[in-house]
Amino acid sequence: MKQTLAIVNYRMGNLNSVKRKLDRLKTTASITSNARNIIKADKIILVGVGHFAKAMKNIKELNLLDALNEVALIKKKPVFGICLGMQLMAKDSEEGKAEGLGWLDANVKKMQVDDTLKFKIPHTGWNKITHVKKSHLMKGIPESSEFYFVHSYCLKSNEASNILNETEYCFKFTSAIEKDNIFGVQYHPEKSHDAGEALLKNFISL
């Protein structure tokens, strides 16, 4: 029996580009804002490009908060956050001074760079990742693989054991996390060619 994957529609970001990528990987994925469908799915993905506080407001207005907590914290199904989707897993963010889902002991901070001529914010384009710990999510993805980034805020994990990848951009920041059934990446695997496809395949095969 094929697994089902729910792409959570909280009215933010790159839903269709992620769906198209998953379709090409022959995965049964649907875009949904229905709490019942989210709870029934085998895995869920939180995508997003947008404002943290607005995203949390939308999640609450769509009555998705309890469903997301049930999937991630009670049923402990695999959950994957992309960009803003990962940031929402933190306790809070400086973007809108808003509380997050609180699944991770982490905070989201505005990126600050010393050399504003060399390092632009938002951080946009290709950059390398380094592996901090072993993970099925990184299977077949070499050290220093390049992924595509677009972000002005980054997640600061207060638990070093949750850090999966780091990336250097004026300073070192967390670019992927893993805690039990909860996974997140700051970069965009759906825009990252072969490395991104390998990562999505790894999540699907969990």
pLDDT of 143 higher than 90: yes
Which one, of 125, 202, 134, 128, lies nearest residue 172 by Cα?
128
Known catalytic residue at 190: yes
Of 99, 190, 193, 197, which is the active-site residue? 190
Q: Report d(CA 108, CA 90) in Å as an integer.
A: 7
Q: Could you read off the pLDDT of 55-103 as tens digits, one per residue? A: 999 999 999 999 999 999 999 999 999 999 999 999 999 999 999 999 9
Of 83, 123, 154, 178, which is the active-site residue? 83
193-204 and 15-24 helices, crossing angle to 10°:
80
Q: Report d(CA 182, CA 78) in Å as an integer.
A: 6
Instruction: Please answer whether residues 91 and 51 qualify as being in contact, where contact means their C-beta atoms are separated by less than 8 angstroms.
Output: no
Q: Give the length of the chain.
A: 206
Q: Residue 1: what pLDDT?
A: 60
Contacts of 2 (CB under 8 A, 6+ apart): 28
Which one, of 182, 181, 148, lies nearest residue 167 by Cα?
148
Q: Is the dihedral of CA 34, 77, 202, 145 positive or negative?
A: positive
Known catalytic residue at 188: yes
- DSSP assignment of 38-106 equals HHHSSEEEE---S-HHHHHHHHHHTT-HHHHHIIIIIS---EEEETHHHHTTSSEETTTTEE----SSE
Rounded CA Rg of the chain:
16
3-state SS class at 145: coil
Q: What superfamily would CATH give domain 4-204?
A: Class I glutamine amidotransferase (GATase) domain (3.40.50.880)
Of 95, 123, 154, 188, which is the active-site residue? 188
Q: Could you read off the pLDDT of 27-47 as tens digits, one per residue? A: 999 999 999 999 999 999 999
- Residue 50 has which token pair? 């947008």
Q: What percent of the chain has pLDDT over 90?
A: 94
pLDDT of 14 higher than 90: no
Under the banding of pLDDT at 50, 70 and 90, the label for residue 24 is very high
Instruction: Please answer whether residues 160 and 116 qualify as being in contact, where contact means their C-beta atoms are separated by less than 8 angstroms.
Output: no
Q: Could you read off the pLDDT of 164-198 as tens digits, one per residue? A: 999 999 999 999 999 999 999 999 999 999 999 99
Mean pLDDT of the chain: 96
Q: Residue 206: what pLDDT?
A: 94
Domain boundaries, the chain: 4-204
Q: Report d(CA 96, CA 53) in Å as an integer.
A: 5
